[in-house]
Structure 1
Amino acid sequence: MSGVFVASLGISAVALGQSDEVTEQIELGLELYQEQEYGAAITELEFAISDIRELMAGRIGETFPEPPEGWSAAEVASSGGGGAAAMFGGGGSMLEREYQQEGGEGRLTAKLMIDNPMIQAMSAMFNNPALIAAQPNMERIRIGRDSALLKWDPERGNAEVSFLMDGRILVQVDGQRLESSDPAVALLKAWDLDALREQAAR
């Protein structure tokens, strides 16, 4: 199963076919459970869960921001190994989308991770002003009524904007060869965070 998702995926025939396959896996898992073939039942249900996570990742991929004026964007893809399903809870994987400045050298990478142990390691930073102040070139900025962290290296033109949503969803934009941090901040603010929260709901 591909780890690459078109950002404008929608509900396609492929997705519907995958949903039918999930239904079959769940029904077979139930039959095996009723026949007390527990190991086989677990296998089928685990396959079903993995496919549901793939469908969920595709929907979440649709929330990534469109390229701003003067920029182009690639498809949303999974990175880090383990496939898109690994972004939920472990494996070190994430969804990301690359953006390229047209007629310039700037690059942006929008990244997303959900329910991953790495998020817990970073959450202390967001809630500790002393830790933020101790980091060079880092400051707190506003995303609506919420806070995000911006790290800006003007000498290299590198920016990193991080936003932790609901304590379990990490949204980041990394920028390279930028004249200012504005494109990275603007891209994160353009993310459809309400749709993301809805699609990632547990």
Structure 2
Amino acid sequence: MDNKRTLGIALLGSVLTLPVTATALADEVVEQIELGLERYQEEDYGGAIAELEFAISDIRSLVSGRIAETFPEPPSGWSAEQAQSAGGGGAAALLGGGGAIVERQYRQEGGDGQMEATLMVDNPMVQGMAAMFNNPALIAAQPELERERMGRETAIVKWEADRARAEVSLLLDSRILLQVNGQNLDAPDVAIELLRDWDLDAVREQAAR
């Protein structure tokens, strides 16, 4: 009983620290937690688990919304849409274990340039990219790839001049992948600077386990 009560208190505490903009969903989470505790006390264990799982799912949605807020603002001469899930269904696409994929589209004003910024947390694709980041020889063997310092971090830049395409990738803590993919660009610089403008400290804070 103590473990269940501790879980409920922990979930409730995490909800109470959420920003005011998430009040409506947070209120619903509080109700789910309270109902889950009531059902547990009534020995309706299946119902208690269901309510607490709903609460956990909604808390993850709130956390993913915070992750979406870390995306950089559009560069001068560009506009941006709201960050959304890879499937276009809300602030973030949740994965098992609380992972997320969030995207934001950027468009050049008066031009054909397009960029897509993507943030992936605890995604199997992140593990695949980690192998490249940890192998300088693999990067050196591909002439279209270059390393770019961003503070204390290192990004990988792929520039295809003949196709006017750029891909800039940055791996944080072996579990968070940030990417900017650009099309119809004159040079990779705008994509590099967009990723450089990402608030990495905020990303780490909001994606913390």
Task: Specify if TM > 0.5.
Answer: yes
The counterpart of 1:50, out of the listed 46, 51, 57, is 57
Q: How does 1:181-192 map to 2 (within 5 A)?
A: 181-192=188-199
Which residue of structure 2 aligns with residue 11 of structure 1?
A: 20
Secondary structure of 1:164's partner?
A: strand
Q: CA 1:97–1:62 in structure 2 vs 1: closer, same or farther (change >3 Å)?
A: same
* Secondary structure, counterpart of 1:108 in structure 2: strand
Structure 1 runs of 4+ aligned residues shifted over 3 Å read 80-83, 87-91
* Bigger proportion of residues as helix: 2
Does 95-104 or 23-32 show the bigger shift?
23-32
Shift of residue 48, structure 1, vs aligned partner: 0.7
Q: 1:131 Cα deviation (Å)?
A: 1.8
Query: Separation in 1 of the partners of 2:186 and 2:162?
Result: 10
Match of 2:137 in 1: 130
SS of the residue 2:137 aligns to: helix
Is the CA contact (8 Å cut-off) linking 1:89 and 1:117 kept in structure 2? Answer: no
User: Is it true that 1:24 corresponds to 2:31 in the alignment?
Assistant: yes
Tell me the distance in 2 between the aligned counterparts of 1:155 and 1:51: 45
Other-structure match for 2:204? 197
Answering whether residue 113 of structure 2 is matched by residue 141 of structure 1, we say no
Give unmatched runs, 5+ long, in structure 1.
Answer: 1-9
User: How many angstroms does 1:35 deviate by?
Assistant: 2.7
Query: CA shift at 1:45, angstroms?
Result: 1.3
Distance 1:99 1:135 in 2: 28
Q: Quote the Cα distance in structure 1 between the aligned partners of 2:26 and 2:118.
A: 26
CA RMSD of aligned residues (A): 2.0
Which structure has more RCO (C-alpha within 8 Å, separation ≥ 6)?
Answer: 1
What code does the residue aligned with 1:105 have? Answer: D
TM-score (structure 1 length as normaliser): 0.86
**Residue 87 of structure 2 contacts residue 93 of structure 2 at CA under 8 Å; is this kept in 1?**
no
Q: What displacement does 1:198 show?
A: 1.3
Q: How many residues align?
A: 190
Which of 110, 115, 118 matches 2:125?
A: 118
Q: Could you tell me how far apart the structure 2 residues matched to 1:194 and 1:27 are? A: 34
Q: Given the alignment, which residue of 169, 180, 184 partners 2:176?
A: 169
Q: TM-score, normalised by structure 2?
A: 0.84
Instruction: In structure 1, give the amino acid aligned to 2:120.
Output: M
Note the residue ranges of structure 2 that are not aligned, 5 or more in a row. Answer: 1-18
Query: Partners in 2 of 1:50 and 1:82 — Cα distance?
Result: 15
Separation in 1 of the partners of 2:146 and 2:20?
40
State the Cα distance separating 1:136 from its structure 2 match: 4.6
